[in-house]
């Protein structure tokens, strides 16, 4: 590796110290989590996962079905299912709730250098 490449790599390593993954936690985000974990390991960055529950998640209502409330244990299980249990000790899991997912995530991004999102056409993210 050339000296110039090493310098650029060091600049990236210094720049991205806190990486956050925004998840729906629906079990379909393995590749997103794997890529973020690989990146965090290569850059020696702190890794966190955020999930925004709907305001009415887990509530009983006769008028409508409420969305399932996602818990930290559910996210940990998802990480284990993906074969990434080695990150659990260092992983910070943030659970919040709100109507506007983007604004809810943004309010927790102080000090975050990179936000990793998955993409699906039907996703609320």
* pLDDT tens, position by position, 24-61: 888 889 999 999 999 999 989 999 999 999 887 766 66
Model pTM score: 0.81
How far apart (Å, rounded) are the C-alpha atoms in residues 62 and 101? 25
Q: Is the pLDDT of residue 72 over 70?
A: yes
How far apart (Å, rounded) are the C-alpha atoms in residues 96 and 75? 13
Q: How buried is 109 (Cβ within 10 angstroms: 0-12 exposed, 13-18 middle, 19+ buried)? A: middle
The pLDDT-based confidence of 124 (bands split at 50, 70, 90) is low
> How many distinct helices (H) and strands (E) make up the chain?
4, 4
The pLDDT-based confidence of 12 (bands split at 50, 70, 90) is low
Q: Domains (ranges, CATH) in the chain?
A: 3-117 (3.40.50.620)
**DSSP assignment letter at 80:** H
Per the prediction, the chain carries an average pLDDT of 86
Please, what's the largest Cα pairwise distance for the chain?
65
């Amino acid at each position: 590796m050339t000296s110039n490449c090493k310098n650029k790599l060091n600049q990236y390593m210094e720049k991205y110290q806190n990486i956050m993954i925004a998840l729906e936690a629906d079990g379909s985000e393995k590749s997103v989590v794997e890529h973020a974990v690989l990146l965090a390991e290569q850059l020696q960055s702190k890794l966190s996962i955020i999930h925004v529950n709907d305001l009415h998640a887990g509530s009983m209502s006769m008028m409508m079905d409420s969305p399932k409330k996602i818990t930290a244990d559910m996210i940990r299980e998802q990480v284990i299912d993906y074969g990434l249990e080695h990150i659990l000790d260092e992983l910070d899991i943030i659970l919040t709730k709100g109507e506007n997912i983007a604004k809810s995530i943004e309010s927790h991004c102080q000090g975050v250098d990179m936000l990793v999102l998955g993409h699906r056409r039907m996703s609320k993210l």
